[in-house]
Amino acid sequence: MNAQSRTALATALELPRGVREPLELPAAASKPAPARRRLGIPAADPLGWLLGPALLVLVWTVGSMTGVIDARILPAPWVTVSTAIDLLREGRLQANLLISAWRAAQGLAFGVAAGVIVALIAGLSLSGGYVFDGLVQVKRSIPTLALIPLVILWFGIGETMKVTVIAISVFIPIYLNTHTALRGIETRYVELAETLGLSRWAFIRQVVLPGALPGFLLGLRFAVMAAWLALVVVEQLNATSGIGYMINLARTYAQSDVIVVGLVVYALLGLSSDLAVRTLEARTLTWRRTFAK
């Protein structure tokens, strides 16, 4: 603040309430400064992401109404909706959805359990790391879907094969993120635990595990996505039930509306499970500033 404006401010303070003397600006500043351009993007509306999907549905509807989109290539939205209602009424959609969800849930459960156990062994002990970490890194370089022929030879084409492939797909992101988080505990917290005289078990329980929880939950988000991806693939192979089977069957009879219904169901499953994991994050990580309301 320069001397002149300070005087002006002092004068303004002495005036009766509500009466303000105009501030005399120095001559050099008399030319109004150009408004500063805002360079950052303003805060986003929480529902803003819906605009893109809404536009897609709009284009789809208009395209179908005007005949630009051939019904054999892509059925009209209203046809898709009525097909979905028919499938629900026949009970086919629910039955297949339930089977698919059960497969994904089993694969997810086994994969998460195995991933967490191996990550704990490899993350908390040096020798455990020597044994397991290299193995997992080797496995990581082989795409899980490339293992399918071998898994079919071992387990046949039944449910065991499907759940196994999903579990392997889930295992990798759970292991990688949990292991990295366990090994990434900050030295300063380790020093703190040493000076407080914590036992090894108390150190693991009170410092390492809670500190690794964000990493595990990030892994869980990737794992859920991996589970759905693996599910789609195994259901296109030799399946006799499930959403993937329903889609495959529809392809045989050229029922593009059923295919679209199946894809919408996949999208809803993916979105709702991601939302579930993020809700879990917000519940368990209340200590994080980012999740605080």
Partner 1 sequence: MSPARAQPVVRVRNLTRRFTLKGVLNGVDLDIRKGEFVALLGRSGCGKSTLLRALAHLDHEATGEGEIVVPARLSVVFQDARLLPWKRVLDNVILGLDGVDAKARGRQALAEVELPGREASWPYELSGGEQQRVALARSLVREPELLLADEPFGALDALTRIRMHVLLKRLSAVHNPAVLLVTHDVDEAIELADRVVVMDQGRIAADIPVDLPAQGPERSVRFTQLRRQLLGRLGVEDSLAHPDPAIA
Angle (CA) 48 53 54, round 5°: 80
One residue of 15, 57, 202, 280 binding partner 1 per CB under 8 A = 202
One residue of 207, 239, 265, 269 binding partner 1 per CB under 8 A = 207
Does residue 206 touch partner 1 according to CB under 8 A? yes
One residue of 6, 20, 205, 288 binding partner 1 per CB under 8 A = 288
Q: Between 255 and 284, whose beta carbon lies closer to partner 1?
A: 284
Count the site residues for partner 1 by CB under 8 A.
21
SS (H, E, C) the chain: CCHHHHHHHHHHHHCCCCCCCCCCCCHHHCCCCCCCCCCCCCCCCCCHHHHHHHHHHHHHHHHHHHCCCCCCCCCCHHHHHHHHHHHHHHCHHHHHHHHHHHHHHHHHHHHHHHHHHHHHHHHHCHHHHHHHHHHHHHHHCCCHHHHHHHHHHHHCCCHHHHHHHHHHHHHHHHHHHHHHHHHCCCHHHHHHHHHCCCCHHHHHHHHHHHHHHHHHHHHHHHHHHHHHHHHHHHHHCCCCCCHHHHHHHHHHCCCHHHHHHHHHHHHHHHHHHHHHHHHHHHHHCCCCHHHCC
Candidate ranges 41-49, 95-103, 207-215, 268-276; the one touching partner 1 (CB under 8 A): 207-215
Q: Between 74 and 213, whose beta carbon lies closer to partner 1?
A: 213
Residues in the chain: 293
Q: Between 57 and 196, whose beta carbon lies closer to partner 1?
A: 196
Q: Between 140 and 288, whose beta carbon lies closer to partner 1?
A: 288
Does residue 126 touch partner 1 according to CB under 8 A? no
Residues 79-118 that bind partner 1 (CB under 8 A): none
Q: Whole-number minimum distance, CB 206 to partner 1, in Å? A: 6
Q: Which residue has the tokens 């693996």?
A: 230
Q: Whole-number minimum distance, CB 182 to partner 1, in Å? A: 14
At 287, list the tokens. Answer: 């200590």
Q: Between 49 and 291, whose beta carbon lies closer to partner 1?
A: 291
At 89, list the tokens. Answer: 């009424």
Q: Between 27 and 292, whose beta carbon lies closer to partner 1?
A: 292
Q: Whole-number minimum distance, CB 125 to partner 1, in Å? A: 17
Q: Whole-number minimum distance, CB 187 to partner 1, in Å? A: 10
Burial of 149 (0-12, 13-18, 19+ CB in 10 A): exposed
What string marks each residue from 181 to 200 as x (binds partner 1 by CB under 8 A) or -? -------xx-xxxxxxxx--
Q: Whole-number minimum distance, CB 205 to partner 1, in Å? A: 11
Does residue 289 touch partner 1 according to CB under 8 A? yes
Q: Between 130 and 287, whose beta carbon lies closer to partner 1?
A: 287
- The residues that touch partner 1, with contacts defined as CB under 8 A, are 188-189, 191-198, 202, 206-207, 210-211, 213, 286-289, 292
